[in-house]
Amino acid sequence: NKNGYDYEKCKETADWLLAQTTLRPLVAVVCGSGLGGLGDSLKDAVAFNYQDIPNFPQSTVHGHAGRLVFGKLKGRPCVCMQGRFHLYEGYPIQKITAPMRIFKLLGVKTVILTNAAGGLNEKYKVGDVMIIKDHINMPGFAGCNPLMGPNDERFGTRFPCMSDAYDRELRQLARHVGDELGFGDFMHEGVYCVLGGPSFETIAECRMLRRLGADAVGMSTVHEAIVARHCGLRVFALSLITNQAVMDYDSEEKANHQEVLQTGKVRSEQLASLVSTMVMSMKHDSGDMLDGMCGQ
């Protein structure tokens, strides 16, 4: 692989991590902008700064701490990325997504991807949570897909299916857990569209994306979901709607990263409850979950 994130390199990182901790997580969580608090709820935590992990990229964005945390969520071993990588940071797309392959080699079965996103659906409000049911991969339309380049069959097939990218059972579990936790009024299910960033969208772009069927727009998650599915990981993803996309030329609203981080703080505890309750309710040994749903 021309970007150097081949099987051996991912294995070297995974083996290094496995030698540092006895925890064997089945679930990995990726924290979106301002959502790093999810990682702070891990018990008996052992944390590694990204700069200390062999071959790991570095976080450069405010609101992405740059720590990999191993610990337990409601008694279940998990690993959590406090800080993810984005295309606009200048990394090759294979590097952004290498952690998914490292997770696979650690023995992880399910990844939970979270992000901050702009709401395009007129029904969505700031602070709402959107379970991702599908995506639109805009950079992919332009030939920027993390699976470009030689395919290593040890990870997965050349042409992976994406119509089932966001696991139906996990979405059902999230709706169930969300209802039990009282998220009813602010939880949706919708389509996430990824752009390259870092500039926020213009009004014309937001209008176009809405017409194309997107409910929320962001700069991450999709690349990770593609690589995770390619190597057989189960994917659940959610967006926190941190701002409303500006659709109107009379609007005085301006998208900004401060608002994104601020909204993250407001929902931080509730999102941590949603994720930890989901993790508690997942069953992995038979490859299936939805066993002993929320609160049982």
Binding-site residues from annotation for phosphate: 33, 64, 84-86, 116, 220
Cβ-defined contacts of 247-251 (< 8 Å, 24+): 247/120, 247/122, 247/203, 247/206, 247/207, 247/210, 248/203, 249/203, 251/203
Least spacing, CB of residue 243 vs ligand HPA, in Å: 5
What is the rounded distance in angstroms from the CA atom of residue 24 to the CA atom of residue 10? 17
- H-type alpha helices, the chain: 7-20, 37-40, 93-106, 138-141, 168-180, 203-211, 222-230, 257-281
Least spacing, CB of residue 47 vs ligand LQZ7MJT6, in Å: 19
What is the rounded distance in angstroms from the CA atom of residue 296 to the CA atom of residue 292? 6
Nearest to 187 by CA among 240, 136, 259: 240
Which segments are annotated as binding site for a purine D-ribonucleoside? 201, 243
Least spacing, CB of residue 63 vs ligand HPA, in Å: 10
Q: Which partner, ligand HPA, ligand LQZ7MJT6, none, binds residue 86 by CB below 5 to 8 Å per kind?
A: ligand LQZ7MJT6
**Binding ligand HPA by CB under 6 A: which of 131, 245, 272, 279?**
245
What is the rounded distance in angstroms from the CA atom of residue 213 to the CA atom of residue 135? 10
Bridge partners of 79? 28, 70
Q: Which partner, ligand HPA, ligand LQZ7MJT6, none, binds residue 92 by CB below 5 to 8 Å per kind?
A: none
What is the rounded distance in angstroms from the CA atom of residue 82 to the CA atom of residue 116? 14
Say whether residue 117 binds ligand HPA (CB under 6 A).
yes
Contact positions with ligand HPA (CB under 6 A) in 158-217:
200-201, 217
Part of the chain binding ligand HPA (CB under 6 A), chosen from 47-55, 69-77, 238-246, 271-279: 238-246
Q: Which residues bind ligand LQZ7MJT6 (CB under 6 A)?
A: 32-33, 61, 84, 86, 115-116, 197, 218-220, 257, 260
Catalytic residue numbers read 33, 64, 86, 88-89, 116, 219-220, 243, 257
Q: Which residues bind ligand HPA (CB under 6 A)?
A: 116-118, 200-201, 217-219, 242-243, 245, 255, 260
